[in-house]
């Protein structure tokens, strides 16, 4: 026998099966417990009075959307920026303090499973008296 020389990536899929029985009828329901992969490619663009945080779109067929989190500290605590899931791979925010604001993103699937956090990105938003344009980009 030849040794296998090429390996194909394998994606593990985990489902929790719930079995309910009543009399002679049984129902099996598959429950998705696998979260999407963490978003990648997070970037921050600054503009007048706001920043645009964007990332590469996830490719899971059951993707429901994204959550964006922000913090004034790189190690948190982070607070969710959006009330509803973000349907596009970008979001605008208006930092309100003259300091670095850090952002990270998660992906959420239709079963409500949330991914691990993306890489953390930060930007120094230079707010003048009239909330002038942001300044330098910080990673």
pLDDT in tens, the chain (139 residues): 444 333 333 344 444 444 444 555 667 888 888 999 999 999 998 877 789 999 999 999 999 999 999 999 999 999 999 999 999 999 999 877 678 899 999 999 999 999 999 999 999 876 653 433 333 334 4
Is residue 107 situated within a structural domain?
A: yes
Distance CA 32, CA 112 (A): 9
Is residue 103 situated within a structural domain?
A: yes
Domain total of the chain: 1
Is residue 60 situated within a structural domain?
A: yes
Contacts 24+ apart (CB under 8 A), 47-51: 47/133, 47/134, 48/132, 48/133, 49/94, 49/131, 49/133, 50/92, 50/93, 50/94, 51/92, 51/93, 51/94, 51/95, 51/101, 51/123, 51/125, 51/134
Q: What is the pLDDT of residue 17?
A: 46
Q: What is the pLDDT of residue 24?
A: 57
Is residue 104 situated within a structural domain?
A: yes
Q: Which domain holds residue 107?
A: 35-138
Is residue 2 situated within a structural domain?
A: no
Is residue 53 situated within a structural domain?
A: yes
Task: Read off the CATH number of the domain in which 88 is found.
Answer: 2.60.40.10
Is residue 41 situated within a structural domain?
A: yes
Distance CA 89, CA 55 (A): 6
């Amino acid at each position: 026998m030849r040794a296998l020389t090429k390996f194909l990536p394998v994606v593990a899929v985990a489902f929790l099966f719930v079995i309910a029985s009543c009399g002679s009828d049984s129902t099996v329901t598959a429950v998705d417990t696998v979260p999407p992969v963490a978003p990648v490619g997070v970037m921050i663009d600054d503009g007048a009075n706001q920043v645009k945080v964007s990332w590469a779109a996830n490719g899971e067929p059951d993707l429901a959307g994204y959550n964006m989190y922000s913090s004034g500290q790189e190690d948190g605590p982070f607070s969710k920026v959006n009330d509803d899931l973000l349907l596009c791979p970008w979001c605008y925010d208006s930092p309100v303090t003259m300091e670095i604001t850090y952002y990270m993103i998660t992906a959420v699937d239709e079963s409500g499973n949330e991914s691990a956090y993306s890489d953390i990105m930060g930007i120094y938003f230079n707010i003048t008296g009239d909330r002038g344009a942001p300044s330098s980009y910080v990673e």
